[in-house]
Amino acid sequence: MILVTGATGTVGREVLRRLPARPPVRVMAREPGRVTGAAPTAEKVAGDYRDPGALARALAGVTTAFLVTTDVGGDDDARFLRAARTAGVRRVVKLSAAAVLDPGADDLITRWQRANEDLLRDSGMEWTLLRPRSFMSNTLSWAASVRSEGVVRALYGTSANACVDPRDLAEVAARVLTEDGHAGQAYTLTGPRAITPAEQTDQLGRLLGVPLRFEELTPEQARVALGARCPAPVVEALLHSAERQRAGAKAQVTDTVGEVTGRPAGSFQAWAKDHVEAFAHVP
């Protein structure tokens, strides 16, 4: 039995779409009714990392688990791993982040992911770590201003990021969850080339058939904008991360998606083509 967490999120819901009917799949979500894309045979159960009883029920009979956590600085990984070990889970595949390998990355989010990785490696269970670069889907945060004003506002327009299509992450995760040979591996996952926010703006504009304007935010403007949706310590971590991008730390490309899935990683152009409606002005 494979357990999928984070199944209403960006990567988890794509993982669900890619898992075969066998071995059986169980989906854990705080609100199972919000889970879409699972095979009809998949079992949906309610579960929250903060609820030990529900976690134990969700993990009973599970051999392999896909773990997604998002509460930066919190101990959801520790709770999940304790419950998984008690339940006799054999292997955990964890969604981590490429930044854990960056020597200059000492922000709150990266320190939290490094600590989570250590917990998993020390858990006694088999482990596989997926370490993606930024998700291409992060550009959906530009959709509102693109739709209403034809403008993208972001930091450091000429800084490159080897961002990755979350569907490629999901394909890698589905393989790792269902194939042998991935235990003890850490995969750094990127797109096929590094691309800048200004280039992404240009590509989106071409797909939409309208020229878009790129307005570079100052760090202070970005702090205010990010502060509307994230707690202050996370905002500071994201600003630190953007600064590393400006310094070139996120431009390196790997071929790991190709090596694991047998086909090359998708481009930002391809991701944007499939999501262009989210950016389109509805008259």
Residues that bind ligand NAP (CB under 6 A): 5-12, 29-31, 34, 48-50, 68-70, 76, 95, 97, 113, 132, 134-135, 138
Least separation in angstroms between CB 24 and ligand NAP: 20
Kindly state the tokens that stand for 35.
């889970």
Closest to ligand NAP by CB, 225 vs 282, is 225
- The interaxial angle of helices 219-227 and 232-246, nearest 10 deg, is 140
Residue 7 or 226 having the CB closest to ligand NAP: 7
Nearer to ligand NAP, 135 or 279 (CB): 135
Least Å from the CB of residue 61 to ligand NAP: 19
Compare residues 35 and 204 and give the one whose CB is closer to ligand NAP: 35
Q: How far is the CB of 15 from ligand NAP (least distance, A)?
A: 9
Closest separation between CB of residue 11 and ligand NAP, Å?
A: 4
Return the residue nearest ligand NAP (CB atom): 9
Supply the minimum distance, in Å, between the C-beta of residue 234 and ligand NAP.
10
Specify the residue, 29 or 105, whose C-beta has the smaller distance to ligand NAP: 29
How many CA atoms within 13 Å lie on the side-chain side of 119? 23
Q: Measured in Å, how far apart are the chain's first and last C-alpha atoms?
A: 47
DSSP label of 94: E
- For residue 37, the number of C-alpha atoms closer than 13 Å in the C-beta half-sphere is 16
- Secondary element (H or E) of residue 261: helix 256-261
Nearest approach in angstroms of CB 211 to ligand NAP is 27
Residue that has been written with the tokens 């998708």 in this structure: 266
Q: Cα torsion at 186, 19, 67, 231 (round to 10°)?
A: 100
Per-residue CA distances from 10 to 17, 76, 135, 169, 224 (Å): 12, 18, 9, 10, 25
- 37/150 with CB nearer ligand NAP: 37
Residues in contact with 283: Cβ distance below 8 Å, sequence separation at least 6, in sequence order = none
Torsion 278-197-94-223 (CA) sign: negative
Considering the complex, state which of residue 36 and residue 148 has its C-beta at the smaller distance from ligand NAP: 36
Min CB(69)–ligand NAP separation in Å: 6
Instruction: Report the SS3 class of residue 129.
Output: strand
Q: Could you identify the residue written with the tokens 């051999």?
A: 63
